[in-house]
Chains A and B, each alone.
Chain A
Amino acid sequence: MAVTATRNGAPAARTRRRISLTPYLFLLPHMLFFAVFVFYPLFRGLWISFQNYDFLRPEQAQFIGLDNYAALFRAGSTKFNEFWNAMKVTVQFVLLSVPFLVLIPLGLALLLNTRVKGANAFRAIYFAPWVLSAAVISLIWWWIFQSQGGLLNYYLKEIGLPTPRWLSTMPYAMWTIVIATVWWTMGYNMIILLAALQEIPPELYEAAAIDGAGRWSVFRSITMPMLRPVMIFILTMTIIASFNLLAQPMMMTRGDPRLSTGGGATQPVMYRIFDEGFVRPFQGSAAAMSFIVAAIMIGFSYANNLILRRRGEG
C-alpha cells in the first residue's frame, strides 16, 4: 500500500505517517483477539502458577512463589512421581509416533505424486480419518484392541495365534495409542507434503533426467532438499501435537497399566495436568506443570530447528 501511495506522488510527510500507521491497523483486529485469548490467559496462568489456587475459592488463594515448581522437582513430593512418569510417557510417545507421522505421509505423498490412476480418491481416503474427532477414533481402536471380543483378538484366535492384552500390558498399550494416532493424523501431513511436492519445478526433474540421474539420487538431491522447509514445519507441528496427547489414552487405556510408584504406563502429561487442575482442585500446580511442559516443548522445537537448519546449510 505504502509503495503505491508514494508512486501517486503524495507529500512526503503524509506518506511517512501512512507508512507507520497502516500496517498496524491491519494487525489490530487480530492483535485484539490475540491479547484476549492468548496473551492475557498466558500471563494469568503464570500468575496462578505462583499461587495455591482453586478457581472456586479465589479469595483463599495464597501467593507461594515458586513452591508449585519446587514440588515438581523435589523427589518425594506428592506430585513428583506422577508428573515425571507422565513426562516420560509423553516423551516416549513423541519418539515413537513422530517418525511414523513423518515417514508414512512422505511415502504416501510420493506415491500419490506419481500420477497414479485415482490419485484423488486415494488422497481422500488417506485424509478421511483426520476429519473424525478424537473420541470417535479412540472408540474405534478400543473396539479393535480390547481383549474380550475385540476385532483383532477375535481373528488372532481364529487362526490360532496368541492373543495379547493389547490395552493393559506393556509395551502393547503404548503401541495401540501410537497406531491409532498415526492412522488418525497421517493424512494431514500427507496433504501438506503432497502440495509441497507439486510445488517443485518440473524443470529440475527434466534436467536430472537428461543428466541420467537414477531415482534414488533424484530423490536425495532434488526432492529432499526442496522439501526441507516444509519438513521443518511438519516436524515441529507434529512434535507439538504429539506432546499434547490426551484423548486417546483417556479413552482407550485410561492411562493403564497402573504403576505402583505413581501414575500409569500410558498416562501422558496432559492427562496429568487435566487431573490436577480439573478432577483435583489444584489449578496452581496444574499451571506450573503446563509451564514446564511448554518450556520443554519450546526447547524441543528449537533444537529441532537448529539441527535441520544447520544440516541444510552444510
Chain B
Amino acid sequence: MKKLLLTVVPVLVILSMLLSACGGGGQATQAPAATTAPAAATEAPAAPTEAAAPTEAAAPTEAATTEAGGATPEATAATGGETGGQAGTLPAECANVELQYWNPFTGPDGPFMGQMVDEFNAANPNIRVTMTSQAEYYTQLTTAAAADTLPDVAIVHADQVATQAFRGVLRPIDEVVTAMGVSGDDYPEAVWAAGEVAGQRYAIPLDIHPMTMFVNMDLLEAAGITAAPKTAEEFEAAAKAVTSGDNKGFLLTGGFPVQQIFQQMLHQFGGSEFNAEGTEVTWNSDAGVQALQWMKDAQAAYSEPNLEVDAELAAFKSGAAGMIWNGIWQTTNVTGEGVEFNGIATAVPQIGPNAAVWAGSHQLTLPAKQSPDACKDAAAAIFIKYLVDNSVTWAKAGQIPASNTVRGSDEFKAVTPQVDIAPSVENAIFPPSVPGITDAFGPLGEAVGAIMNGTETDIKAALDNAAQRATQILEENRATYGDAPQPAQ
C-alpha cells in the first residue's frame, strides 16, 4: 500500500506540475524584458487608438474585426455593377481567387467599405474578397510582414507609404498601375505624388480626407451671421460675434489636430514644413511663427484655454461652440443627426494669402509577399480599380474621392456636404514622400501642443527647438533607411 502511494503520488504531482507549468509559462510571456510584474497596476493596453497615424479615430476606439457584410448602411441604389465590371478580366487559368483585404476602418466608415466589398463580390463571381478592419493598424501590418502573412490588398495612409515601402511591407506596383489604366492625370498632383517613393509607384489614392470646418449655424445666426465664413475677415467677425458668456466662437485644443492645423496655417502663410526633398526642416520660418501666433491669438480671443484632445468636439456637440476645425471623418459625429442644432460641415476658410488645407489620404497598396501569385495580383488589380471607380459609395462614409473623374461625376454631386468641401482638396498638402517622415513630425506636435497648452510661451524658440530635433531625426532616418527600398529577398 505504501509502495503504491509512493509511485502514484509522484506521477500525479508531476502531472499536475506540468499542467500548472503550462499556466505559468503563459503568464511569463507578458514580460519579455526582465521584469516580473505580476498582478497589480498596469498591463499592456488593449490597443486603444491608431497610434501610428493619428488621422482616424477621435476618442478611444474599440478594435473590431468585421467580416465584409453584416451591418451595411442603407443600401443605396447599386452604384456598383455598371461602372465597375469592365475594369479588367481575370486570366483564363485563374478561378475562384480569394483575396484578403485589410484596412483601418473600425469606425462608422467600416460598413460603407463592407458594402463596396459585398457589391464587388456579387459582381465578380470568380473573386472573393474578405475584408478585415483593425485598430492599431501599422503594428498589425508590420507584425504580419515579419510573419509573411500580409494580406493581398491593404489600405495605407499617404504619410506612411514611404516608410512601409522602405521597410519592405509594400511592393512597387508600376506595372499593375499601367495595366489598370490609372494615371496621375486623374488626381490632384500632391496626393498622387504621395504614392510614389524613390521613383517607383507603391500606392493608388482612394480618397482625400481634408481638415474641415464644422459650424453651428444656429449660434452664428443668433449672432447675426447668415453664412459660414470663407475669408479671414468673415471668420474673425463670426468667431467674435458668437463669443459671449459660455458660448465660444472657435475652439482650439492642445492635442490632435492642432499640429495639423498649424501645418495648414503654415502653408497658408507661405511656409512649408520641409524642403521638397524632405532633408531640411523649415517650419521655424517667419511664416511658421505667424501661423502659430495666429492660432494662439485665436485661442485667446475665441476659445477656452487648455482644452484636452477631443474636448472641442464634445463642446461643439453640446452646442456651446460656434466653429471647430477637425477631420472630415467627424462629419456624421458632429452634424446632421449627430447634434440637436443645425450643424454643418464646410471647407476651412482661407486665413493667410495662400490657399492650403491639411489632408490625409487612404491609399490602396499591394503588400509584399515571399511568393507572389499572378492570379491574386490580377484579381487585386480588378478589385482596386473597382474601389477607385466606385468611390462615390466610399464618399458617403465622409471622404472625398481622390479621383478627379469620380469627384466630377453626377453621382458625387448628390453627396452632401462632401461635394461642398471637395474643391478644397485641390489645395491639399502632403508631406514629402520619404521614409520615417512621421517621426520628424513628433517634435512639431510637441512644440505646437506645448504652445497651445501654455507649457511653453516663446513661439519662435519652441519652433526652433523642434526644428533642430526634427533635423536630427531626418538625418538619422537617412542613415537608417538608405536611398532606396531594398528589394524583397
Query: Is the pair B48, A241 in contact by a Cβ cutoff of 8 Å?
Result: no
- Which residue of B21, B445, B447, B469 contacts A29 across the interface (Cβ within 8 Å)? B21
Check B277 for interface membership: any CB of A closer than 8 A.
no
Query: Is the pair B24, A256 in contact by a Cβ cutoff of 8 Å?
Result: no
In the complex, how many angstroms separate the beta carbon of A218 from the nearest chain B beta carbon?
Answer: 29
Given known A-B contacts A78-B472, A297-B35, A189 and B453 have beta carbons under 8 A apart:
no
Check B33 for interface membership: any CB of A closer than 8 A.
yes
In the complex, how many angstroms separate the beta carbon of A74 from the nearest chain B beta carbon?
Answer: 12
Check B177 for interface membership: any CB of A closer than 8 A.
no
Chain A positions within 8 Å of B13 at CB level:
26
Check B275 for interface membership: any CB of A closer than 8 A.
no
Cα A248 to Cα B42 in complex, Å, equals 8
- Which residue of B60, B253, B451, B466 contacts A251 across the interface (Cβ within 8 Å)? B60
Cα A97 to Cα B38 in complex, Å, equals 17
Question: How many A-B residue pairs lie within 8 Å, measured between CB atoms?
Answer: 251
Give the interface size bracket for B toward A.
35 or more
Chain A positions within 8 Å of B28 at CB level:
33-34, 37-38
Chain A positions within 8 Å of B466 at CB level:
260
Check B29 for interface membership: any CB of A closer than 8 A.
yes
Cα A188 to Cα B52 in complex, Å, equals 34
Chain B: which residue is nearest A253 at the CB level? B308
Cα A189 to Cα B59 in complex, Å, equals 31
Chain B positions within 8 Å of A291 at CB level:
33-34
Check B340 for interface membership: any CB of A closer than 8 A.
no
Tell me the A261-314 residues at the B interface (CB within 8 Å).
Answer: 261-265, 270, 274-275, 278-282, 287, 290-291, 293-294, 297-298
> Which of A118-126, A135-143, A195-203 touches B?
A135-143
Cα A290 to Cα B34 in complex, Å, equals 8
The chain B residues found within 8 Å of chain A, CB to CB, are 2, 6, 10, 13-14, 17-18, 21-22, 24-25, 28-29, 31-46, 48-49, 51-52, 59-60, 138-139, 142, 145-146, 163, 167-169, 253-256, 305-312, 314-315, 318, 320, 436, 439, 443, 445-451, 453, 455-456, 461-462, 465-466, 469, 472-473, 476, 480, 486, 489
The chain A residues found within 8 Å of chain B, CB to CB, are 1, 4-5, 8, 22, 25-26, 29-30, 32-34, 36-38, 41-42, 45, 52, 54-57, 59-60, 77-78, 81, 97, 101, 133-135, 138-139, 142, 146-149, 165, 167-170, 181, 184-185, 188-189, 237-238, 240-248, 250-251, 253-254, 256-265, 270, 274-275, 278-282, 287, 290-291, 293-294, 297-298
Given A168-B307, A250-B49, output 16 extra A-B contacts at Cβ < 8 Å: A30-B21, A38-B28, A55-B142, A60-B486, A77-B472, A148-B312, A168-B255, A168-B308, A188-B39, A241-B40, A243-B37, A251-B48, A258-B448, A279-B52, A281-B163, A294-B35
User: What are 28 A-B contacts defined by CB distance under 8 Å?
Assistant: A30-B25, A33-B25, A34-B28, A52-B480, A55-B146, A57-B168, A59-B489, A78-B473, A134-B46, A135-B48, A138-B60, A148-B315, A149-B318, A237-B40, A240-B36, A241-B37, A243-B35, A247-B44, A248-B42, A257-B254, A257-B449, A258-B450, A258-B455, A259-B456, A260-B456, A278-B139, A291-B34, A294-B34
